[in-house]
Structures are given as C-alpha cells and as structure tokens.
A and B are shown apart, each in its own frame.
Chain A
Amino acid sequence: MNRIVPAPIARQPWAMLVPLLLLVAFGGAVLFSAAGGNFDAFAKGHLIRFSLFLLVAAIMVWFPRDLVKFMAYPVYGVVVLLLVAVEAVGAMGGGSQRWLELGFMRIQPSELMKPAIVLALAHFYSTLPGGMVQTWRALVPAGALIAVPMALVLLQPDLGTSLAIAFGGAVVMFLAGLPMRWFVGAGAAAAVAVPLLYFFGLKEYQQRRVTTFLDPESDPLGSGYHITQSKIAIGSGGVSGKGFNEGSQSHLNYLPEPHTDFVFATMAEEWGFLGGLFVLFAFGMILKWGLGVARRSNDRFAKLLAAGMVATIFFYVCINLMMVMGLAPVVGIPLPFMSHGGSSMMTNMICIGTLMMVNGWNRNQPKTGIY
C-alpha cells in the first residue's frame, strides 16, 4: 500500500471507482448535449442521483455478512409483494403499469428484483449442502424463485426486465455448480421454446420489434426507425465524432430516446469510435473488478452474490449496446451509469454497492493459500 495516501482513501476500490466516476461524468456530458446544451434537463438529475446512490452504496459497505444473509429471503419476499402490488394497482387503474407511486418517489419493483433474485439465489445455494447440488433439490426451489418474479414482470409486460431477472438467476445457478448438462438441456429447450414463445407468448408490438430487428430496413419509418436512426448516429460519428454538442441526429430529434435507451448512440455520434472504446473499456474495468471481487472471496454466499451482481450489470450493458448497434431487438434496457433514469441507476448502484460490500468482507476474511 502506498504510504503517502492515507489508508481510508487508499483502501477504496479505485480500480472500479475511477472508471465509474469517469463514466458517470461522461454520461453527464452526453446528457447535457442530448438536452441541447441544457444542464438542468437531464445531466443535473443524473449526477445528483449518482451521488445519492453512491452514498447508499457507501452505507451498504458497512452491512455485515450475517445481516445480509438473514435479510436475503425477506428482501426477496418484499419485492415480490411489491410486484404483486404493481399488478393490483394496474388492474384497478384499468391499465398496465410498471411503477408504484410512493409519494416522494416512484419505484419500479421489477428493477429491484434484479439484485434481489441474485441475493436470494446466492443465499439459497450457500445454504444448500454440497451433496445436493447435483440433485433436483438444487434446481426446483431456485427455479421457483426465478419463475415467480419473471411471470409477474412478464405480465406488466416487460420482456427486457424479465429476461434480465432470468439471466441474473441463471448465472448464479451456473456458478453455483449445477450440472453442465442441465444448462445444455435448457439451451436446447430454449431453442425450441423461443419460436413458440414468439408466436404465442409475445404481444404484437413485441413481435414487431423482433422482426424489425432482423430486418430494420423493411420498415424504415415505422418500427425499424429506432434501429436505423441509431445506426446512422453511430456510423456518422466516424473515428472521433462530430464534436461535443454537434450531433445532428440527437439534436434534431431523429434519434429516439437520445437520453435514455439510445444514450450510447448520442455519445457515439459526438465522440465517435474513440468515445465508444472508452465506454467499453470503462465497463470492462468495472466488470473485471467485480469479477475479481467475487473470485477473491472465500465465502460461497459472497462469491455467488458478487458474481450475480456483475452478471446483472453485464446484462444491461451487453443488451443495450447490442440493441443500439443493431445486434439485438429494441427491448428498452438503458445503459448503466450513462442513461438518464432513476430506476436503472438505483439497480446498478445497488449492484456496485453490493460488490463494494463483498470487497469489504474480503478484506476482513482469513487469507488462504490460493489468494
């Protein structure tokens, strides 16, 4: 450890914090431009929310492991109840909705479910005796834990979030050591189920999103418009972009949602390929650090929890970037730390806070020969 820097500061996980802070600041700059050079519109709220949730994350660092383990199922249960409440309010209001109005803020329980499912599964597998990992007892309760919130979120209907929940859960199950053939089998089953799901499970607007993703030019002014305009924004940026505040696609409203789902395209238009590489690199650093935290932990619960959180952030980043570059259908998933929006910031900062928490636990754990 460097002695010039005081220990409390040197102790902080700078390998993650530096890219994160740069990313959020960069996000603020992009949002400033997306609002047409207005700081108050998006950028201010973005930075305030980040500061707030960074504080939350700092507080989470102090949570002891036992408390977190103890709270795992109750937290999961509360979030499921909130999801039910969303459905109930939606049904009474005569329309579907995704959030709950709490007076001081609006919360989206489906967002909270992403870290909550990871927490619950990590706890489940950490308590599952090692001998049962190969048996149905490792699968069925975990499957139920995933299926209930997925079903509730699909009812909203929000395909992107339910897939995110499934992905987080699946990664925890995979890392928990469940037999490989189950995953292969599940992959095969998915290959069969996806077409069936497409024709019978998806709403028409969701079907259209998939078909236009496959051929965006088929309907350039209709549903393919989002993907086409996003690709134009990214492609027209070139190597170094059109310059800060000079993006015509975002400023003239050709790009849909330039401050939320398509913030990466807004960025790429003005900062070009170099800006894109920076964003990819920053996410890479954060995720690499997160995975390192998971691997360094000696505790099964902490390992699975940290890895699940990394997977959750990764899912956001991966699906969002694939979507804006025309590699995935438009599913409405924002880009962590850059998109304007409280819910995604909250989820991702909970993930970061959890990782910082596990990082803190790691520091206090007995050293082993491996690490």
Chain B
Amino acid sequence: MRKKRRQTPVTSNTLKSRFDRRSFVLASVGGGIGTLLAVRMGYLSIAENEKYKTESESNRVNLTLIPPRRGWLLDRNGAPLASNRADFRVDIIPERTPDAEKTLDTLGELLGYEPQKIQDLKDSVEDARGFQPVEVGTGLTFDQFAAISVRLPDLPGVVPQRGFTRFYPTGPSVGHLIGYVGPASAEEYELDRNPLLITPGYKIGKDGLEKQFEQELRGVPGARRVEVTASGRIVRDLDTRRDVQGDPVKLTIDGPLQDYAARRIGLESGSVVVMDCLTGDLLCMASMPSFDPNSFSDGIGRVEYSMLREDERVPLRNKVLKGLYPPASTVKPMVGMSFLKEGIDPEETVFCGGGLRVGNRVFRCWNRRGHGHVNMAKGIYQSCDVYFYHLAQRTGMDPIAAMARRYGMGQEFPIPVTSQFYGTVPDPAWKQKKYDRPWAAFDTVNATIGQGYMLSNPLQLAVMATRLATSKVVMPRLVLNDKVPNFEDMGVSDEHKLAVRKAMSDVVNGPGTARRGQLPISDVLMAGKTGTAQVVSLTKSDGRSGPWKYRDHGLFIFFAPYDNPRYAGAVVIEHGGGSGAAYPIARDVMTFMFDPGKGMDALRRYESQWGGTAQQRLERKYARYAAEAGEDVLPQPTRDEEIFARVDAEARMVAEETVEETADAAINRSQNVDSTSAGTPR
C-alpha cells in the first residue's frame, strides 16, 4: 500500500526518541506557560498595582457623607431668620434586627403609632435589602427620643440619631424673602455634580436668599469611613470627619420689623419695604400673603401646595420684587422735582376746576369739585392731578422720564435676589419702539400721575422715597457690612429738597390726603405721599367696592422723621380700595420703628379682630382647606426647645421692657439679639 511504503519502520528506539523529543517539547511549553504566568502576575501586581490597590480600597471602604449643617441667615442684629432645628429621628437597619416584628411593635408603642402605620413599617423593612436603613420616624420629641435611647439594648438594629432641619422662626413673614430648602432635583444635580446633593436628607436652597447664598450656606460635608464586607455588613469604623457648618449670612433685614410689617399687612395682599436712608440697608421686605417656609422645607404636602397655588392673592409670588403696579400719585413728588429742575417756580399756581382738557378729551382730577388755585406744595399734599397735567404739558415727557429713572423707577438693583421685575418708565422713544406709535399728549398726562404705561415694583417705590428724602443716589443693599456707603448727591438744591419734604410732610401732618397717617409719637413726624392706582376703568368699578380684583391698589411712600430722614419706604396693598389701605400700615410700621410698644399695641388690636397672627391664620386656613379636600392634617410638631433668639415682633417689646431705663436705642437693639425670654404668645 502506498501509505506503508512511505513509512519508516517503527522500532522501540524510535518511540523512545520520539518520547524524548516530545517530552522536551511539552516541558518547553510548560516552562513557557510558567513564564507567561509569572509575567502576567508581575504585570498585575507591579505594573497595575496602583489601579488594583485603589479598587481594593474602594471595595473595602464605604464612605458615607454626613450632610453639613447649613449656615444661618441672620438679621442685622445677629438673630437667626433661618437656623437649624435639632431633629430627632429613628431608623432601623433590618440586617441588624433579628426580630423585626417585635422590635417594630415596641417602637410603634413608644412612638404612639397606629397599627396601620406599624404594618406599613413592617412591610418596608421586609422589602429593604442589605444595609439600607429604613426610616421609622422623624421629628420625634425629646421624650420619645430618650425613651428609645434607654431601651436600645433590647432593640438591636435601631438607630436613634440627631439630625437637623431648617427652621424659620417667623415662618410666613420671611417666606418670600428667604425662600426655602428642599431635596435637590435631578436637574440641579445635572448642573452641580456634587455627591452631597444626592445624599439622603440633604437639602439645598430652592428659592429666595436660600438659593442665592447656596454656596456660602452649604458648608463642607463630614464623612464616615467604614470597612464593609461584600454583603455590606459594617466591620468597623475607620474614621469620621466632622462636617463644617456653612457660613452665616448676615442680612440688613431687621427681623422683628420684618415680622411686624408682614403681620400688619393682615388680611390684605401686599408688601412693605423699609430702607435705612443713610446706608441703603433694606430693613424689611415683607410680602403677604405668603407660605410657611418651614412646611416647604419639611417637604410640602400636595394639599397644602394646591391651596397656595389656587389662592388668587398669589402667596407664591414675592410681591416686593415681582409685583408690578402703576405707581399712581406716589410719583408726584418726583415729578415735582423734575418741574423744579426745569425751572418752574414752585409758587406758580394752576387753577384746578376738577379737570383739564387735553386735546379733545377731558382728564379729570380725582377731586371732581376741583382744588382751586394750586401751587406745587398743594399739588403734592392734595395730590391735585390737574396741576401735574398742566405743567407736564409744558415740560414734555422726557425730563420727567429721566427724573423717574434717576429716582429708581424702572431700575434693577444690585442685590442678591433670584429675580426682580423692573417695570416700565415710558417715554416717546420707548413707546415708538414698543408699540410703533408716536407719543401722544395724553400719554404724558397719564404718566405724570403714575398711570398708563408706568409700572414699578414696591422696592423701586421705596428707593424713590429714600432718594426724595435724602436727595442722594441711595442704593439698596441686602447684605450687612460695616461700611457706610458714600452715595452720590443728586444735585438737588436744599431749597427744593426742603420744599418737597415739607409738602410730603403736609400730606400726613398738614392739610393733606393722609391725615390719619400721623405717627402717635409727639416728636417724630412722618412724611409721605399717597397713591391710588386704578385697575380697571371707572365704568367697570368705582375702585373701592365690588369684586376684590377690580378694586384700586393702595400705595404709600414715606420717610421719617421728615426733617432728618432716617427711614424711608413704601407700602403697596393690592386691590386695597385706595391709598387708605396703605398709609395706616406705613404709620404703624414707623410707629413700631420708633416706639415698639405703641406699634405692638396697635398690631395686637388688629390681630384680635383678624383671628391671630399670620402664621396662626395660615395654619387654620390650611386645616380648613384640607378638611374640605378630605385629608387629615396632623398638628404641627411641637417645638419644645426655645433655643433660638427671637425674631418675631414681640421680641422687640421684650427687649424694650428689660432695658426700659436706658434711653439709648442702640443698646436696645443689641440686647434684643440675646433676648431668649419667652412668655409672649406667638
């Protein structure tokens, strides 16, 4: 056969040498594989050592972030407007709990839970996996916390601990100003990929100053490093780094004044701004009705949120910055300033017969019977429209618009707020651009009495009042510092300044439109200017009665004392039915400023009629609303600890009483910070 022919005969020696050759080959292959393994091992353990060391460490060590305590927001005297309340909570770690049923029964008994709630907890403990703790309760009272802590030896796997929740002592009074905190949303985490944001229990500023000062307030998280097994069981604690509390932010806000003003707005919807004339410090930026930032920060309920959203008085909008209103007659002193600048003699009189024909239309004065002969002072204190209609025809709109802007109208101020609506100061160029129509004489007429296209927010009105009082370009500021700013002079002659001041004082203290606005303090006179902004035409509503949303806005700008202005501000009451709704509030706020006792008495009288403080009313309103919606509302958790310096309006009173002998107001203010005495009803 062909095959056999080719083959050499196989002998025992052939096989032996084959064995030797082939065993040598196999030994070489084996040695090669051995070398390969040695090289591979060297590669893993030497060349890639760093990488695998890191991976081994990240296996072994589990890092838990401890959320930092948020920095406090302080008022100008150092009292907290937003602080952190120690919060007692209890969690259970299912893996460490041998008999979860029994443990939860005991816990439920200690916490006074209903059987249904205990059953829910049992279910969630059963579903929980690994080392993830299950929340049993938050907001425990100290007694509950202590009761659980004492029984810990019998409750394996139960972890009672102290956390912190944000606390706003004056609740709704600071809601719009301060904002609130809440868990970071997915979008916020996209923007700031900080692992802290997704740490359970951590909350970031969501609105207002809380949002604006997020980075300052945040602080540095602490961390707990523990050694864990693959299944997540903690073997031992490696080390713990304490958190660093966020920096406090000290505001120019006067806490008690803020609270007073917010509460004094009462049942109305509106805002109060008070500024320091010397520094531009914003002492108060109250906007009501508001929400309670405490409930937002605890995670607001669906029902409570819909109550706020449905309210026609928009408690979710900060009216100080985002409410735009026709400034109405409050612009008149400023318009008067522009007349003076244009060289009009303040003693020049205009005859007011109750109206003025401009073109083919008659513009009525608010006083249909007319004011007779009107000079500038009377034009301001009697708020005579015809005087301004007439002289504005002579100067034209441009000088008035320029002066309005100089006094802060239409301006955006460099203060740390999330947004400001800055309104409109109309002039011919603006109208041409916006509506592509020429400016008409009646536009000037409307603008000089702060109607028509003119819109401003209450902050701008307060700035205008401050600049009228001081004749300096005072800039508002919200963050306190020790520097007394040096504001640019507006170039108004003393004569003109005093003339306008006097006229504004006469609005309140003389034959003016706000005589009920006199301060009940003998040596302090308040100056001001009323304004009543029409919302709909007179054919639809007379502005004082009828449906709420058709009533006129009431406005008032003021400063005091009139001869040496120290404080200035603005009050705007939405649909208040006229300026009569606004200036009594300004009067009481200023009274509180100079004599807290008298101010407080006035507020107490009102609050007894209204049915309690703003917070109490809000809570009752919510309970009512929720009952209608068919939901149970649990009572607010009681706050046992009175550990915070008080910033509610009563705190000022208490402070006053303790240092009655001392006349020095400066001491009163600093005392107030440390005052912790309770006893006054909240």
Q: Which A residues lie at the B interface, using CB under 8 A?
A: 130-131, 133-134, 171, 174-177, 229, 231-239, 248-249, 252-254, 268-269, 272-273, 276-277, 280, 283-284, 287-288, 291, 294-295, 300, 303-304, 307, 311, 314, 318, 321-322, 325, 327
CB distance from B31 to the nearest CB of A (A): 8
Is the CB of B186 closer than 8 A to any CB of chain A? no
Q: Do A177 and B52 touch across chains, with their CB atoms under 8 A apart?
A: no
Alpha-carbon distance between A280 and B56 when the two chains are bound, in angstroms: 24
Q: Do A175 and B23 touch across chains, with their CB atoms under 8 A apart?
A: yes
Q: Do B19 and A303 touch across chains, with their CB atoms under 8 A apart?
A: yes
Alpha-carbon distance between A280 and B32 when the two chains are bound, in angstroms: 12
Of chain B, the residue at the smallest CB distance from A283 is B34
Of chain A, the residue at the smallest CB distance from B37 is A321
Q: Which residues 36-67 in B have Cβ within 8 Å of A in the complex? A: 36-38, 40-42, 44-46, 48-49, 51-53, 55-56, 59-60
CB distance from B37 to the nearest CB of A (A): 5
Alpha-carbon distance between A321 and B59 when the two chains are bound, in angstroms: 23
Q: Do B11 and A252 touch across chains, with their CB atoms under 8 A apart?
A: no
Of chain B, the residue at the smallest CB distance from A256 is B230
CB distance from B87 to the nearest CB of A (A): 34
CB contact between B26 and one of A133, A175, A177, A234 (< 8 Å): that residue: A175
Q: Do A325 and B18 touch across chains, with their CB atoms under 8 A apart?
A: no
CB distance from B34 to the nearest CB of A (A): 6
Return chain B residues, CB-CB under 8 Å to A238: 45-46, 49, 53
Q: Do B34 and A280 touch across chains, with their CB atoms under 8 A apart?
A: yes
Alpha-carbon distance between A27 and B185 when the two chains are bound, in angstroms: 54
Is the CB of B229 closer than 8 A to any CB of chain A? yes
Return chain A residues, CB-CB under 8 Å to B19: 175-177, 295, 300, 303-304, 307
Return chain A residues, CB-CB under 8 Å to B20: 295
Return chain B residues, CB-CB under 8 Å to A280: 34, 37-38, 41
Apart from A133-B10, A177-B15, 6 more pairs, CB < 8 Å: A130-B11, A235-B48, A248-B59, A253-B230, A273-B45, A276-B41
- The 7 residue pairs across chains A and B that have the minimum distance between CB atoms: A235-B52, A236-B56, A177-B18, A253-B230, A235-B44, A248-B60, A236-B52
Q: Do B7 and A252 touch across chains, with their CB atoms under 8 A apart?
A: no
User: What is the total of A-B residue contacts with beta carbons within 8 Å?
Assistant: 137
Contacts A232-B56, A235-B52; A130 near B45 (Cβ below 8 A): no
Q: Do B30 and A252 touch across chains, with their CB atoms under 8 A apart?
A: no
CB contact between B56 and one of A131, A248, A273, A325 (< 8 Å): that residue: A248
Alpha-carbon distance between A12 and B588 when the two chains are bound, in angstroms: 111
Of chain B, the residue at the smallest CB distance from A125 is B15
Q: Do B40 and A325 touch across chains, with their CB atoms under 8 A apart?
A: yes
Q: Do A231 and B37 touch across chains, with their CB atoms under 8 A apart?
A: no
Return chain B residues, CB-CB under 8 Å to A174: 22, 26
Of chain A, the residue at the smallest CB distance from B7 is A134
Q: Do B37 and A322 touch across chains, with their CB atoms under 8 A apart?
A: yes
CB contact between B12 and one of A130, A232, A291, A314 (< 8 Å): that residue: A130
Alpha-carbon distance between A133 and B669 when the two chains are bound, in angstroms: 113
Is the CB of B33 closer than 8 A to any CB of chain A? yes
Alpha-carbon distance between A304 and B11 when the two chains are bound, in angstroms: 16
Q: Do A253 and B44 touch across chains, with their CB atoms under 8 A apart?
A: no
Q: Mark each residue of chain B from 1 to 26: 1 if its CB lies under 8 Å from any CB of chain A, else 0.
A: 00000010111101110111011001
Q: Do B22 and A177 touch across chains, with their CB atoms under 8 A apart?
A: yes
Contacts A177-B10, A231-B44, A287-B30; A254 near B51 (Cβ below 8 A): no
Supply 8 A–B pairs (Cβ within 8 Å), ascending by A.
A235-B44, A235-B52, A252-B228, A254-B56, A273-B45, A284-B34, A307-B26, A314-B30
CB distance from B669 to the nearest CB of A (A): 60
CB distance from B491 to the nearest CB of A (A): 74
Is the CB of B539 closer than 8 A to any CB of chain A? no
Alpha-carbon distance between A203 and B262 when the two chains are bound, in angstroms: 75
Alpha-carbon distance between A300 and B12 when the two chains are bound, in angstroms: 9
Q: Do B45 and A237 touch across chains, with their CB atoms under 8 A apart?
A: yes
CB distance from A182 to the nearest CB of B (A): 13
Q: Which B residues lie at the A interface, using CB under 8 A?
A: 7, 9-12, 14-16, 18-20, 22-23, 26-27, 30-31, 33-34, 36-38, 40-42, 44-46, 48-49, 51-53, 55-56, 59-60, 227-231, 235
Q: Do B26 and A277 touch across chains, with their CB atoms under 8 A apart?
A: no
Q: Do A254 and B44 touch across chains, with their CB atoms under 8 A apart?
A: no
Of chain B, the residue at the smallest CB distance from A253 is B230
Return chain B residues, CB-CB under 8 Å to A283: 34
Alpha-carbon distance between A317 and B622 when the two chains are bound, in angstroms: 75
Return chain A residues, CB-CB under 8 Å to B55: 232, 235-236
Return chain A residues, CB-CB under 8 Å to B44: 231, 234-235, 325
Alpha-carbon distance between A123 and B42 when the two chains are bound, in angstroms: 42
Return chain A residues, CB-CB under 8 Å to B9: 131
Alpha-carbon distance between A272 and B23 when the two chains are bound, in angstroms: 32
CB contact between A131 and one of B10, B22, B38, B228 (< 8 Å): that residue: B10
CB distance from A183 to the nearest CB of B (A): 10
Of chain B, the residue at the smallest CB distance from A177 is B18
Contacts A236-B55, A248-B60; A130 near B46 (Cβ below 8 A): no
Alpha-carbon distance between A318 and B40 when the two chains are bound, in angstroms: 13
Q: Do A311 and B45 touch across chains, with their CB atoms under 8 A apart?
A: no
Of chain B, the residue at the smallest CB distance from A230 is B44
Return chain A residues, CB-CB under 8 Å to B227: 248, 252
CB distance from B536 to the nearest CB of A (A): 67
Alpha-carbon distance between A176 and B16 when the two chains are bound, in angstroms: 9
Q: Do B15 and A231 touch across chains, with their CB atoms under 8 A apart?
A: no
Return chain B residues, CB-CB under 8 Å to A294: 23
Q: Do B15 and A130 touch across chains, with their CB atoms under 8 A apart?
A: yes
Q: Do A325 and B41 touch across chains, with their CB atoms under 8 A apart?
A: yes
**Interface-centre pick from B37, B49, B55, B60 (highest chain A CB count, 10 A):** B37
CB contact between B230 and one of A133, A252, A307 (< 8 Å): that residue: A252
Q: Do A234 and B22 touch across chains, with their CB atoms under 8 A apart?
A: no
**Interface-centre pick from B11, B44, B230 (highest chain A CB count, 10 A):** B44
Q: Do B23 and A307 touch across chains, with their CB atoms under 8 A apart?
A: yes
Contacts A130-B10, A235-B45, A291-B23; A252 near B37 (Cβ below 8 A): no
Of chain B, the residue at the smallest CB distance from A180 is B22
Return chain A residues, CB-CB under 8 Å to B59: 229, 232, 248-249, 252, 254
Alpha-carbon distance between A253 and B231 when the two chains are bound, in angstroms: 8
Of chain A, the residue at the smallest CB distance from B60 is A248
Alpha-carbon distance between A134 and B1 when the two chains are bound, in angstroms: 14
Alpha-carbon distance between A368 and B584 when the two chains are bound, in angstroms: 128
Of chain A, the residue at the smallest CB distance from B45 is A273
CB distance from B257 to the nearest CB of A (A): 59
Alpha-carbon distance between A187 and B229 when the two chains are bound, in angstroms: 45
Of chain B, the residue at the smallest CB distance from A235 is B52
Alpha-carbon distance between A32 and B554 when the two chains are bound, in angstroms: 87
Alpha-carbon distance between A176 and B11 when the two chains are bound, in angstroms: 12
Alpha-carbon distance between A237 and B49 when the two chains are bound, in angstroms: 7
Return chain B residues, CB-CB under 8 Å to A229: 59
Alpha-carbon distance between A235 and B215 when the two chains are bound, in angstroms: 41
CB distance from B191 to the nearest CB of A (A): 29
**Interface-centre pick from B9, B49, B51 (highest chain A CB count, 10 A):** B49
Q: Do A327 and B40 touch across chains, with their CB atoms under 8 A apart?
A: yes
CB contact between A130 and one of B14, B38, B41 (< 8 Å): that residue: B14
Alpha-carbon distance between A304 and B16 when the two chains are bound, in angstroms: 11
CB distance from A333 to the nearest CB of B (A): 14
Return chain B residues, CB-CB under 8 Å to A318: 30, 33, 37
Q: Do B46 and A239 touch across chains, with their CB atoms under 8 A apart?
A: yes
Q: Do A133 and B30 touch across chains, with their CB atoms under 8 A apart?
A: no
CB distance from B516 to the nearest CB of A (A): 76
Return chain B residues, CB-CB under 8 Å to A295: 19-20, 23
Return chain B residues, CB-CB under 8 Å to A239: 45-46, 49
Return chain A residues, CB-CB under 8 Å to B60: 248-249, 252, 254
Alpha-carbon distance between A276 and B36 when the two chains are bound, in angstroms: 13
CB distance from A277 to the nearest CB of B (A): 6
Q: Do B15 and A133 touch across chains, with their CB atoms under 8 A apart?
A: yes
Alpha-carbon distance between A248 and B10 when the two chains are bound, in angstroms: 59
CB contact between B229 and one of A236, A252, A276, A322 (< 8 Å): that residue: A252
Alpha-carbon distance between A254 and B235 when the two chains are bound, in angstroms: 13
Contacts A174-B26, A300-B15, A314-B30; A252 near B235 (Cβ below 8 A): yes
Alpha-carbon distance between A311 and B22 when the two chains are bound, in angstroms: 13
